Amino acid sequence: MNVGAAQRLAKSYASIRGETSLDTETIERLAEKTQCNPLAIRITIDGIVAGLDVNEALSQTKDGILDFSYKNLLQSLPPVSNRILECLFAANTQLSRSEIRILLETDSDTIATGLQSLIRTSLISRHADSSVESYSLSGSIRDLLLRNPLDEKTRESVVHRLSSQEKELARLKTQDRADPLDRDFIPPNCVPQLAQPLLTAFSMVQRNASKASMADHLDDLRGHMREHSVSELYRAATVLFYALNDRSSARQILEQARQQDILDPAARLMLAEHYKDDEMYNECKEVAMPLLKDGWFSADRTDRTNLARLARVTWLVEIWLGEENSVATRTRDWSIDPVSRAIKGSIYVTAIRRLLRNENSVQRASGYISELTGCLDSIFNSDGYVGFVVAEAVNAIASISDKLTVINPEKSSIEKLATFIDQHLVPICNIHNRISLGDENIVQFVERVQDLASQAKVSQPKAVTLRQAEDPALAQYGYIPVRVYARPCDSFGNFRAFLFAKDDDGNEYHVSSRAMVDRVAFANLREGDLLLVLPREDYDEDKARPVRDALPQ
Alpha carbon 438 to chain centroid distance?
21
Average pLDDT over residues 444-457: 90
Highest-scoring range by mean pLDDT, 191-205, 278-292, 466-480: 278-292
**Alpha helices by DSSP H, 405-541:** 411-431, 440-456, 519-523
pLDDT score recorded for residue 464: 57
3-state secondary structure 76-112: HCCHHHHHHHHHHHHHCCCEEHHHHHHHHCCCHHHHH
Q: Is 473 helix (H, G, I), strand (E, B) or coil?
A: helix
Contacts 24+ apart (CB under 8 A), 220-227: 221/197, 224/194, 224/197
pLDDT score recorded for residue 161: 82
DSSP for 355-419, please give it. HHHT---HHHHHHHHHHHHHHHHHHHHHH---HHHHHHHHHHHHHHHHHHTT----HHHHHHHHH
Q: Is 529 helix (H, G, I), strand (E, B) or coil?
A: coil
User: Confidence class of residue 473 from pLDDT cuts 50, 70 and 90?
Assistant: very low
How many CA atoms does the CB half-sphere of 33 hold within 13 Å? Answer: 27
Q: Cβ(517)–Cβ(483) under 8 Å?
A: no
* Nearest alpha-carbon partner for 442 in 463, 460, 459, 423: 463
Instruction: Check whether 489 has a pLDDT greater than 90.
Output: no
pLDDT score recorded for residue 66: 60
Q: Cβ(88)–Cβ(124) under 8 Å?
A: yes
* Nearest alpha-carbon partner for 386 in 109, 164, 134, 95: 134
Instruction: Check whether 315 has a pLDDT greater than 50.
Output: yes
pLDDT score recorded for residue 365: 95
* Nearest alpha-carbon partner for 551 in 454, 457, 484, 463: 484
Q: In what order do the strands lie in the sheet with 133-137?
A: 95-96, 133-137, 124-128
Question: Beta 498-502 vs 480-486: how paired, if at all?
Answer: antiparallel
Residue of 306 and 126 predicted with greater confidence: 306
Q: Is 511 helix (H, G, I), strand (E, B) or coil?
A: strand
Highest-scoring range by mean pLDDT, 112-126, 147-161, 164-178, 298-312: 298-312
DSSP for 301-350, please give it. TS-HHHHHHHHIIIIIHHHHTT-HHHHHHHTTTTTS-TTTHHHHHHHHHH
- Please state the pTM of the whole predicted model: 0.67
Average pLDDT of the chain?
84
pLDDT score recorded for residue 408: 93
Instruction: Check whether 474 has a pLDDT greater than 60.
Output: no
Alpha-carbon distance of 47 to 74, in angstroms, equals 8
Q: Cβ(252)–Cβ(235) under 8 Å?
A: no
Alpha-carbon distance of 24 to 44, in angstroms, equals 16
* Nearest alpha-carbon partner for 140 in 153, 155, 121, 127: 121
Residues whose CB is less than 8 angstroms from the CB of residue 215 and which lie 6 or more positions away in sequence, other chains included: 244
User: Confidence class of residue 128 from pLDDT cuts 50, 70 and 90?
Assistant: confident
User: Confidence class of residue 171 from pLDDT cuts 50, 70 and 90?
Assistant: very low
Look up residue 481 and give its amino acid.
P
Instruction: Check whether 465 has a pLDDT greater than 90.
Output: no
Alpha-carbon distance of 348 to 332, in angstroms, equals 7
**E strand or H helix at 165, and its extent?**
helix 152-172
Q: Cβ(414)–Cβ(456) under 8 Å?
A: yes
Altogether, the residues listed in the chain come to a count of: 553
User: Confidence class of residue 275 from pLDDT cuts 50, 70 and 90?
Assistant: very high
pLDDT score recorded for residue 468: 38
Where does residue 144 rank: exposed (0-12), middle (13-18), buried (19+ CB within 10 A)?
buried
The string of pLDDT tens digits covering residues 371-394 is 999 999 999 998 888 888 998 999
